[in-house]
Structure 1
């Protein structure tokens, strides 16, 4: 049996070449592989969501490939942190009637547990503040990331070195081996999308770590003509503004003002401030008012007591208003992938923020009263998660003195 499999494996490359040769007469599809830093659009104005939206419009794609496995995509299931996929590229494609092609691969949950000891898609009840399965926040480099950053291979040389260097101990080499296999299958699915659109344009939105390996695999495919994203040029400020949307502004404000980013930084307050101002221009909604209070407080423009009063007023007026975007994947939880309290509605979030500031001011009794009001109506699981995050990330970290 082993000899039979070896013979098959040796024959496959020649058969694949023959199949490609048979297709060589077809007009190749233009394939544009846009390497992204997942969700960094929310912290870098030079990489903002509206810029991606405008770029996709400029590329005029016949298909958009996204980083999700076909089976998961069919269920409407995305990775939590691939903001650029489910919150920009997919809605763009659906608004414009463009075909979506899921291209990713991931090992089955059983294999994940066998190889890593855990399922990689199941966060713990309380996510760690940072590290594996922790809340996402970015450092200084991401806050200045340029939209075309990944076009330059030199900027990703560390990834290339890691991918081509086996681990010192073979038993620790699973992540690298899976990466290579995963990227290879991504490339093959992109090639299939290209064959389905001869003479057309296929845009691939994928994590930048995969970009250059994908291109290396596809460069000799007769059905593919690779084009660098930067060759299309950067949409100008007017074009970007025309493609901005309320949900993009909400995401920018939420990530930077309510998520862990607001505590660990850096925050580009100019970028965030422009997003909040644009939301306010659309009306003094409960979410816009809350963003304004949080922004002004973080920038030291208002005192804590003023913030508490304004949060209370928002809670009194908000009713059942929800944020226009939360990034929440599992609505049975109280958190999101970047915010311990990301699944709260605006009223509860205002109460939570008032409680946070009351606690920091040393008024534990009022803080606990506000926190109790915040938990009313939540499921038992959500209440326990909220209290767990509060105790760990607020009460202990900001003990009244």
Structure 2
């Protein structure tokens, strides 16, 4: 009897004690946060990271520029090594080549900017006359005289020099830090010799991450090399056309066109404004229209026809994300962020989406719509078939209805 009582007490105690698995499940359930809280925490983390990048933009911008350049010249070093060139000499040759290109670009930019600062005072009377006409037009539209004068004051030659110098200087500021970039190029190129071994060592544990990084380097290299080549062609064509049209500062506007070719969607409008203004000041409306047509044709052929076919699937970002990324990265790390917006956005997508197979279904939302195009075509075909069936099922109206009556 005592034994039976002890067994009943033992059973009731075991039922009262939670099982370890049940306790762990309960703990996991209690720790889980609502989806809204997770989203808010994610946004908070993004804001903190972006503010940190903005605070360290003087370091982040040249470091990422050096990384992109290292990725672009890596095949050159590999090709030299395969041809029997020593590793150290091949690495040095690739670095010197990139550094020479940067130095040449800086020299051209400095010369063009100096030419512009000496050229602008020659057109000061025309600019002031255009400002007066603009002030009268604004007052005619109902804008107050004080507000109109404030707008016109922004067209003063000294202020234009400051604005152009700030924009071009911000873009070239990273390039002027040649010592920092050269140091980073040397160190990254030396570390890059171990990149294949590091990826092979990491692949058994993080195969998806390795695949994402390899795909990222391949896509960025293709995008940057193709964009650079097409940007040079675009800048040279615009420069030659401006020389023929006798637009002042043609070299500077050609360099500006080359820089802005790296800025998707927005770069064209930035590059075309100065030559339009100076074309109008030097030759009136005929030169203005000619510059507009030349830039429109060159931009349409290079960026709308040639570049998508050559780059192919290297980018696969939606137009909305590309446009927002230019504004976002320019806000975070300055003008260089606008130039490197596409590589930066591709890096974020590679780390957050491509490195996690469970999130691959998000890629169509970012612009990778190769499979989505087939689904969209099927849906369109179904919608057309349904609309046709609905029209056939509708009762006849008007003359058709009267003709069908007995």
Give the shorter-chain TM-score range: under 0.3
- Normalising by the residue count of structure 2, what TM-score does the alignment of the two structures yield? 0.20
Which one scores higher on RCO, CA 8 angstroms, separation ≥ 6?
1
- Normalising by the residue count of structure 1, what TM-score does the alignment of the two structures yield? 0.20
Q: Could you say which structure has the higher helix fraction?
A: 2
Q: Could you say which structure has the higher strand fraction?
A: 1
